[in-house]
Structure 1
Amino acid sequence: MPIRSLCITESADRPSVATFIGMHEAGIEVTVVCPEDHPNHKTLTDAGVPTVDIRLPTNFNKAGIAALREELIRGRYHIMHTYNNKAVSNGLRACKGLPVKVVCYRGIVGAVGFLDPMSWMRYLNPRIDRIICVADAIRRHFLEMQPAFLRMPAERPVTIHKGHKLEWYTATPADLSEQGIPDGAFVVGCTANYRPRKGIDYLIDAIEALPDDVPVHLMLVGHMDAPKLTRRIARSPAKDRIHRAGYVTNAPELSAACDVFCMPSTKREGLARAIIEAMVYRVPPIVTDTGGSPELVVDGVSGIVVPPKDAQAIANAIETLYRDDSLRRRMGVAARERIATAFRNDDTVLKTIALYKELVPNPD
């Protein structure tokens, strides 16, 4: 008898969809709670993965909880696998009293606390059997929370990296002249949404700290229209070399056209997809030693790891890669190989199935 899993996600990204399909092809009876109007819905159905359109607009949605419970009972699922906060909070109520194992996905470090009531309604809830952490930094955070006597059992958080496939990234690099960047310029790219923990201000400080003979351009991709950032760029001596592409649908292709990629996060980084995309395109990354970023990058081999909140360290790393073409190319090749061997979607599928079988050794 195969294991039956109800996977609940409102925004199934490409790696998650590939994992669902991989488990389905391996014999797991996966059903995905996914809106019919989601861009990846057709990919799932074309692969033969059943879907259910249940909407969860709030953390505690009465209609959504009732619909989830009805589906859990109808499908006699062995596992309920949730992929976001709303899925966790609604799913835990929906499965009350049902003999289903609960697996939750967690993609960022922190934002969970013993004094926070909502945390107990989500990731600290003892009803949860396993928390799949996308980076080992997340697992360690759970196991190091204070006070120690309130910590969850050590076996509950497990690390399963969200793997990718190289064939997803074959598009031609973008033409950066469309962003106002001159031909032949050395470009540092960063894809993120502007918020304090992303450390964008430190990256701008780093660009300003570079010597005059290192005239790099900085391209910021994502939601970067915050008034604070606009003012910061306006007063920068490097303002003519800072370009905001905004939110785009071809972020990987923009990163592919850069010489270096930088993720200057100050805290709570999970396993940033933007870093992975750049690495697959052989663009060497500069990342901070926080969250899951140093799990992606082997310092000095497939990129450079610097301390968080250290603009000068970022500047030094940029200058090193600017002045050494050979090193930059070697790191780019190693970066792609790192993703190809250590962050494979096939491994994500196998490890998730192994976890399922650990929880449900004898499905009825």
Structure 2
Amino acid sequence: MRIAYLLPSLHTSGWRRYAEDLLRALAGEVEPVLIHAADDAELAAELFPEWERYALPVVQDASLSSHRTRGHLLRSLWRARRLSMPRPALVHSLEAYPAGLIGHTLARRWNVPHVLTAHGTYAVLWVRYPLDRWAYQRVLRGAAAICPVSHGTADLMRQTFPEALPAERLHVILNGNDFWRRVPAEDALQRPWPERPTVLTVGDIKARKGMHISLAAFARLHSAMPQARYWIVGKYRPEDPYYQFLQQLVHEHNLQDAVTFWGRVDDAQLDALYRQASLFVLASQAEDLRFEGFGLVYIEAGAYGLPVIGTRSGGIPDAVRDGETGLLVPPEDVEALAQAMRRLLEDEDLARRMGQANRRLSESLTWQRAADDWMKIYAGGRLVG
């Protein structure tokens, strides 16, 4: 089956990982034809040298608010109507909008089904902008299948665009991962209990990731467990106001000897930090229409056999199975988060059981499983209209 894939920006790590891993898993079943942004031409050739590739001025940028980028989008729509390539069996947009708008245009031109993946924020953000809202609803109404990467994303899409999302066209396909391949099962399932209680957070240092909540919770934990330490891994700029606010919290609570900001680390360093941690915490918050679409980092922690603590926000409950692989707490609830940390650090048996369950979850959420779910969509059993 020949399928045209609309690729979001390959220079954005999350989109690149999704495109590369899903397409590799599908490659034995379909004939991919890739449509990407002109700026991604070199990277697309490096990642996918064996497949047909076509370039448009833009497909999906991380930010589409500028007039310059919107101009590129209009040129892409014009070019899409004139793109010279053999007709595929269907079109799959790997992001809902605006990549989905180009996919919708191509599918109508070729008279083939259009299916799309919906990732978190970009699945609902467009309700803010009247013209984009109108265009996006046309994309949703015209799609044969709409596949959010989590049930939380699906719920928010239903709430935001209720009339454009018939239930029979909405199918959740959870993200895959290959983190578990990097860590031998025996290392994860029989990991030694760290001598010093260590809480680990991995994520870009910004308010939506909730480091101010987890840091305040750790301060309460530290009062009861002075030997505990907190490691925060993720890129930051020293002059950034949010990073400076976090440093202020560290000093206010006298945590200079307990909290370490590691910044961006390489894979070997990250591996070592995961292996030395006792539990993983990421207290992500929803900021207006920006939220965690799934939360692959919790699954990465699971590859190492770590129990995890997350928030009941967005798609996180699909990545953190409350009471099984970890604990969920309400967003912005510092006391609940502090209690959850203490519970897992004081109960080694519970932490081990949850960590082992998280490893099993990581092993089950494979890209092959995601590819199999997509093949059911492609095969037509779930296509409507």
Give the alignment's TM-score, normalised by structure 2.
0.78
For residues 168 and 60 of structure 1, what CA distance do their matches in structure 2 show? 42
Greater per-residue helix proportion: 2
In structure 1, the residue matched to 2:191 is: none
Q: Quick check: 1:214–1:319 contact (8 Å CA) kept in 2?
A: no
For residues 74 and 275 of structure 1, what CA distance do their matches in structure 2 show? 40
In structure 2, the residue matched to 1:180 is: none
Q: The residue matched to 2:24 in structure 1 has which SS?
A: helix
Q: Quick check: 1:60–1:90 contact (8 Å CA) kept in 2?
A: no
Deviations 1:252-297 (A, max 9, x none): 5243442211120122221112111111111111011112211122
For residues 153 and 375 of structure 2, what CA distance do their matches in structure 1 show? 21
Q: The residue matched to 1:75 in structure 2 has which SS?
A: coil
Q: Quick check: 2:325–2:358 contact (8 Å CA) kept in 1?
A: yes
Q: 1:117 to 1:196 in 2, by over 3 A?
A: farther
Q: The residue matched to 1:155 in structure 2 has which SS?
A: helix
For residues 312 and 294 of structure 1, what CA distance do their matches in structure 2 show? 20
| Structure 1 residue 336 displacement after superposition | 0.6
For residues 77 and 86 of structure 1, what CA distance do their matches in structure 2 show? 20
In structure 1, the residue matched to 2:42 is: 37
In structure 2, the residue matched to 1:139 is: 154
Q: The residue matched to 2:167 in structure 1 has which SS?
A: coil
Q: Quick check: 1:302–1:332 contact (8 Å CA) kept in 2?
A: yes
Q: Quick check: 1:78–1:99 contact (8 Å CA) kept in 2?
A: no
Aligned residue runs from structure 1 range 338-353, under 5 A: 338-341=361-364, 343-353=365-375
| Structure 1 residue 67 displacement after superposition | 4.3
In structure 1, the residue matched to 2:92 is: 81
Q: 1:87 to 1:247 in 2, by over 3 A?
A: farther
For residues 202 and 124 of structure 1, what CA distance do their matches in structure 2 show? 39
For residues 228 and 149 of structure 2, what CA distance do their matches in structure 1 show? 33
Q: 1:318 to 1:167 in 2, by over 3 A?
A: closer
Q: The residue matched to 2:116 in structure 1 has which SS?
A: strand
- Tell whether 2:288 aligns with 1:288: no
Q: Percent identity?
A: 20
Aligned residue among 221, 232, 238 for 2:246: 232
Measured on the aligned residues, the alpha-carbon RMSD in Å equals: 2.9
- Tell whether 2:273 aligns with 1:274: no
Aligned residue runs from structure 1 range 160-309, under 5 A: 160-166=173-179, 168-170=181-183, 185-210=196-221, 211-225=223-237, 226-234=240-248, 235-237=251-253, 238-250=255-267, 253=271, 254-267=273-286, 268-309=291-332
For residues 227 and 82 of structure 2, what CA distance do their matches in structure 1 show? 61
User: Which stretch shows the higher mean deviation, 93-102 or 265-274?
Assistant: 93-102
Give the alignment's TM-score, normalised by structure 1.
0.82
For residues 51 and 296 of structure 1, what CA distance do their matches in structure 2 show? 33
Gaps of 5+ in 2: 62-68, 185-193
Q: The residue matched to 2:156 in structure 1 has which SS?
A: helix
Deviations 1:3-59 (A, max 9, x none): 433342322533432321222202x12112353432x754433xx443334441634
For residues 231 and 296 of structure 1, what CA distance do their matches in structure 2 show? 29
Gaps of 5+ in 1: 172-182
- Tell whether 2:19 aligns with 1:6: no
In structure 2, the residue matched to 1:324 is: 347
**How many correspondences in the alignment?**
341
| Structure 1 residue 114 displacement after superposition | 7.5
For residues 121 and 355 of structure 1, what CA distance do their matches in structure 2 show? 24
Q: Quick check: 2:91–2:106 contact (8 Å CA) kept in 1?
A: no
Q: 1:93 to 1:284 in 2, by over 3 A?
A: same
